[in-house]
Amino acid sequence: MNLTIRDIARMAGVSPATVSKIMNNYGGISEATRQKVYKIIEDTKYQPTFSAKSLATKKSNLIGLIYAGKINVDFKHPFFNEVVNSFKKAVGALGYDLLLFSNEKIYQGESKYLERCKHFHVDGCLIVAGDEIEEAVCEIAESEIPCIGIDLKLEGPNSSYIMTDNAKIGMKVVENLYLNKVKKVAYIGGKQDSLISSIRNEGFIDAMKQFGLPLNEKWIHYGDFFEESGYLSMKKILQGNEWPEAVFAASDMMALGALKAMKEHGVRVPEDIQLIGCDDIESCRYSDPPLSTVKQDKHKLGKLAAYMLDDLIRGNVEIHPVKVDPELVIRSSSIER
């Protein structure tokens, strides 16, 4: 069996309370006994038992990780993965481990996130969401448990959120195209009912208006962020009697689908039509030609989320929602004059 605090205390000839105080840097301990006990702790590599400590303190140094929404947002998602990865690193450096809630049982109505957070005494939660969020997620945001949401508006007494400034994305793209003298631009957006994509849609429309560029209805289509929908939208655009000079898709997946359609039609990219995607997922670099895109700074998003959550947990700061600037990445599917 493992050593307990009592064993350490006995070895050092002090009380368990003293050992506890030393391990938690409480003070009120003489330097001499401190040294003595510390040596034993190091020699024996003693580590306090998590569950006992957690039971006594009601803290856990654990952060719950929730992939919410009914869509398949999990380990396979190229964008959220990178964000969570960066979050994991940052939060690890702060001394937390991550608890991954399996969302299997939840759909069978068995266990709510909030209950399980309390059950585990998690110190805080990171909530990653694709589309609509379930009731169970609201429940936890409204509780006292500190939460940070990524790509969803999470509001509550101890909650906040962070996302890319999606409204700026359209402007970045349109501005770049405008500077390169292209004015006829088509748009493939995401579902209107999703928060992120509706913000992107508006951003694009606004930017076009701001530069006084024409909004041709035949060139505006809405998909579902996945490849197939981009492919189908592009088909329709190409069937029209006039082609745009450039296409901007609100997700890289859709852009990749559009690219496929263009190739089937013998369209040369970027000579005949330029193409710009959004998100900067891995596959952008392997397409032919490599896809220009608007990059979301996933690393920064994750790290910021970590620090914000830590502040929330420590309770020493009032946290406001944060928006991170997107960045245009020009590869070969668009032209930089």
Please give the residue ranges that form the binding site for DNA (CB under 7 A): 1-6, 9, 13-21, 23-24, 26, 28-30, 32-34, 48-49, 52-53, 55-57
Which of 144, 228, 264, 282 contacts its own copies by CB under 8 A?
A: 282
Q: How far apart are CA 118 and CA 143, in angstroms?
A: 10
Nearer to its own copies, 212 or 266 (CB): 266
**Residue 123 Cα distances to 97, 106, 151, 318, angstroms:** 10, 21, 21, 17
Nearer to its own copies, 75 or 215 (CB): 75
Q: Minimum CB separation from its own copies for residue 145, in Å?
A: 12
Q: Minimum CB separation from its own copies for residue 207, in Å?
A: 27
Q: Minimum CB separation from DNA for residue 193, in Å?
A: 40
Q: Are the beta carbons of 140 and 147 closer than 8 angstroms?
A: yes
Q: Say whether residue 51 binds its own copies (CB under 8 A).
A: yes
Name the E strands within 183-295: 185-189, 220-222, 246-249, 274-279, 292-295
CA dihedral 328, 331, 335, 336 (to 10 degrees): 60
Residue 90 structure tokens: 């940052």
Which of the listed partners (DNA, its own copies, none) does 103 bind, with a CB threshold of 5 to 8 Å by partner kind? its own copies
Q: Say whether residue 44 binds its own copies (CB under 8 A).
A: no
Nearer to its own copies, 56 or 179 (CB): 56
SS3 246: strand
Q: Minimum CB separation from DNA for residue 16, in Å?
A: 4
Q: How far apart are CA 146 and CA 140, in angstroms?
A: 9
Which of the listed partners (its own copies, DNA, none) does 18 bind, with a CB threshold of 5 to 8 Å by partner kind? DNA
Which of the listed partners (DNA, its own copies, none) does 115 bind, with a CB threshold of 5 to 8 Å by partner kind? its own copies
CA dihedral 80, 81, 83, 86 (to 10 degrees): 170
Q: Minimum CB separation from DNA for residue 119, in Å?
A: 9
Q: How far apart are CA 176 and CA 208, in angstroms?
A: 12
Rounded to the nearest 10 degrees, what angle do helices 16-23 and 31-44 cross at? 90
> Residues interacting with its own copies, by CB under 8 A?
2, 45, 47-52, 54-55, 60, 62, 65, 74-76, 78, 81-82, 84-85, 88-89, 91-107, 111, 115-116, 118-121, 256, 263, 282-283, 286-288
